[in-house]
């Protein structure tokens, strides 16, 4: 190889080698972070003001790579109607539902060998003046050290895994909820499943899990199906509304067993320690495609039969004979025969 080409080729090979090593390392770290599991994903406890609570989070590294993790605490609240948490910084202690500032731990960094399981220990010290009701925080585990910034973006949060913590402080607890909406996505279904949406609002100061069932009844009031409401045990946080979706998927085989007609969905819910009730009813119709096609064919056949019958009757009707008009002597051109006179004398 000429000497003039040696240095450029050597530099190019060096750059390619370093780039490949960097990309491989980044891919390994990304895969390791994605494979990490945290247990429990949610912890719910009841604590008193001044109480110190100790617990652990189990971290599992199922990958073949060494993973370095950095814990970070944040507060969270409800965002939107989907029940997704919205996180905000731990130093925001003025929020009445804040919790992150109560959490402390000794390990600023955790190293997990391949296939290793580690118990991460933490403590919560409840302030003596803790406000009664719900308090909500999370312990995140990130592959990068926490940066001192004014806020944490949702993109960076998406790259972490965490364990949510929901704490109940006794005292002036207000468990209040209301049923904002209960409706079916459509009034008429030609295909199942039938989808119901329920919007529950929490107007109190503590989270709760609405539980109950939805009973499906036919036109005559007979129960044809029953569904468990909120089987996933989702919470409704204070000052928020959460939408729950339930589906009724009746059997579709054989086709003649498919539901047909008008039905009602009867919602019966309970929430909170006092088991307060929420109820609602919505009506909907189910007409399967085969039923619609069958009815359409029958109607067309009936219309054809009626039209055919009218045509046959019209052709079979006898001709109409019109009688001769009566003689009118006052009209010129008409013959007026002489009247016969009878002599009565």
Same domain, 163 and 194: no
Q: pTM score, two decimals?
A: 0.73
Domain-terminating residue out of 289, 308, 334 = 289
What phi, psi does 220 have (nearest 5°)? -95, 5
Same domain, 37 and 154: yes
5 within some domain: no
Same domain, 77 and 193: no
Residue 227's pLDDT band, with cuts at 50, 70 and 90, is very high
d(CA 305, CA 312): 11
d(CA 80, CA 342): 113
For the chain, percent of residues with pLDDT exceeding 70: 77
306 within some domain: no
Range of the domain at 260: 179-289
Number of C-beta neighbours around residue 196 at 10 A:
22
pLDDT in tens, 92-138: 766 889 999 999 999 999 999 999 999 999 999 999 999 999 999 99
163 within some domain: yes
d(CA 292, CA 280): 30
Same domain, 160 and 228: no
340 within some domain: no
Domain-terminating residue out of 272, 289, 306 = 289
321 within some domain: no
Residue 32's pLDDT band, with cuts at 50, 70 and 90, is very low
308 within some domain: no
245 within some domain: yes
Same domain, 135 and 195: no
Is the model's pLDDT at 149 over the cut of 60?
Answer: no
Q: Which residue has the tokens 């913590």?
A: 165
Domain count, the chain: 2
Half-sphere exposure of 199 (CA within 13 A, CB side): 9
Is the model's pLDDT at 195 over the cut of 80?
Answer: yes
Which residues are CB-neighbours of 340 under 8 A, at least 6 positions away? Answer: none
Same domain, 149 and 277: no
d(CA 146, CA 148): 7
300 within some domain: no
Same domain, 114 and 193: no
d(CA 153, CA 202): 27
Same domain, 163 and 48: yes
Choose the weakest-confidence range: 25-39, 50-64, 103-117, 179-193: 25-39
Q: Is the peptide bond before 40 cis (omega within 30 degrees of 0)?
A: yes
Here the CATH number for the domain that contains residue 59 is 2.60.40.10
Same domain, 125 and 197: no
Domain-terminating residue out of 169, 204, 226 = 169
């Amino acid at each position: 190889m000429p000497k003039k080409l040696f240095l450029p080729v050597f530099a190019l090979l060096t750059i390619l080698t370093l780039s490949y090593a960097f990309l491989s390392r980044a891919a390994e770290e990304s895969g390791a972070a994605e494979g990490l599991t945290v247990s429990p994903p949610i912890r719910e406890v009841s604590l008193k003001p001044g109480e110190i609570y100790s617990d652990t989070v189990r971290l599992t590294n199922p990958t073949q790579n060494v993973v370095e993790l950095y814990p970070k605490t944040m507060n969270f609240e409800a965002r939107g109607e989907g029940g997704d948490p919205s996180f905000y910084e731990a130093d925001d202690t003025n929020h009445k539902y804040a919790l992150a500032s109560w959490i402390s731990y000794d390990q600023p960094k955790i190293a997990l060998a391949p296939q290793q399981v580690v118990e991460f220990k933490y403590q919560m010290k409840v302030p003596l003046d803790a406000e009664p009701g719900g308090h909500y925080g999370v312990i995140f585990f990130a592959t990068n050290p926490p940066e001192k910034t004014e806020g944490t973006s949702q993109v960076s949060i998406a790259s972490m895994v965490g364990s949510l913590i929901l704490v109940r402080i006794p005292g002036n607890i207000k468990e209040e909820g209301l049923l904002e909406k209960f409706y079916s996505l459509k009034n008429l279904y030609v295909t199942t499943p039938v989808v119901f949406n329920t919007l529950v609002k929490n107007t109190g100061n503590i989270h709760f899990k609405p539980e109950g069932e939805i009973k499906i009844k036919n036109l005559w009031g007979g129960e044809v199906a029953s569904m468990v409401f909120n089987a996933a045990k989702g919470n409704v946080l204070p000052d928020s509304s959460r939408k729950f979706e339930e589906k009724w998927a009746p059997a579709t085989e054989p086709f003649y067993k498919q539901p047909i007609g008008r039905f009602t969905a009867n919602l019966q819910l309970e929430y909170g320690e006092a088991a307060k009730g929420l109820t609602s009813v919505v009506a909907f119709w189910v007409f399967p495609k085969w039923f619609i096609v069958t009815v359409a064919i029958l109607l067309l056949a009936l219309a054809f039969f009626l039209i055919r019958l009218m045509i046959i009757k019209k052709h079979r009707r006898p001709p109409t004979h019109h009688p001769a008009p009566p003689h009118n002597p006052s009209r010129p051109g008409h013959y007026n025969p002489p009247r016969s006179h009878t002599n009565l004398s």
